[in-house]
Amino acid sequence: MSAPWGNAPIFYALAHVQFNAIPAMAKYAPEIADRLRRAGYPDAQEDKQSVASFDMTIGGDPDAQKMDRREVLRWRLSNREKTACFLLSQDALIYQTTHYSGRDAFFAELQKGLEVVHKVVGLDFVDRIGLRYLNSVLPGEGETLDQYLIPEVLGLSGKLKDGLQQGLVEAVAQLSYGILVSRAYTVVSQGGNPPLPPELLPLQLEVQPRFSPRNGFITVLDNDCFIQKRDAFSLSSIVATLQKLREGIGLAFDCSFTPFAQDRWK
């Protein structure tokens, strides 16, 4: 999809930049929050995220694996409308929105947040850059998912329609500039917001009303492209990497839908 469409199916977008850990981030967070408040993100909240890790080094026995759970402090900085926010932690900045208006505007907002963090704490390097787009494929009245999506995306969901509860198709590709993970979730919706993968819950942003599905089948196209590589911190380099990752997401998305879907979304 080379340019935003008038009825584009994207309902959620996320960009993630992991940088060198700042042990004193709690000290700097108030200044970062105040600068982003003046940049259009006045709703600042502090919370804790529970993170689990597994240690399987105990004799290599999976039954003896040890789980370590810890709480990570982070700051949520949202706009007034709750349609976009930054998530700041000790070693990362995430920008997410439910009102995506195109890659240039999206990347510009992320860059705005990174500039603020860098000015306050002085970042040294970046370890990971990621981009993730979720698209909601919701057939209209009298339409079906197979009018919108190619058979490979629907998998057996396109065949096992009687009694189907959910379906998942996944592909992973090693690209020259990163790793692409493409998933398609098909579920029976009871209304409300489109389904989200567990790691993105709870979503504390307002989803556009046009994405509230009716009862029936819905497919979410979840395309995630990322690179794990340590580089010196550079805003221009980060944006250039995001542009390449966006190409990867486009590779998966563009081959997923039918001409019928393109007519509906344009």
| pLDDT at 1 (0 to 100) | 44
Domain region containing 152: 11-265
| pLDDT at 3 (0 to 100) | 56
| Any domain includes 53 | yes
Into how many domains does the chain fold?
1
| pLDDT at 192 (0 to 100) | 82
| Any domain includes 146 | yes
| Any domain includes 137 | yes
pLDDT beneath 70, residues of the chain: 1-4, 50-68, 161, 213
Judge contact between 45 and 82, C-beta under 8 A: no
| Any domain includes 6 | no
Closest CA to 119 of 23, 230, 36: 36
In angstroms, what CA-CA distances link 235 with 36, 79, 118, 248? Answer: 17, 23, 10, 20
| pLDDT at 50 (0 to 100) | 67
| Any domain includes 5 | no
| Any domain includes 37 | yes
| pLDDT at 4 (0 to 100) | 64
CB-count burial class (<10 Å; 0-12, 13-18, 19+) for 265: middle
| pLDDT at 72 (0 to 100) | 85
Residue 11 CA to residue 126 CA, distance in Å, equals 28
| Any domain includes 179 | yes
| pLDDT at 260 (0 to 100) | 97
- Count Cα atoms within 13 angstroms, Cβ side, for 245: 29
pLDDT tens-digit map of 101-128: 999 999 999 999 999 999 999 999 999 9
| pLDDT at 56 (0 to 100) | 53
| Any domain includes 176 | yes
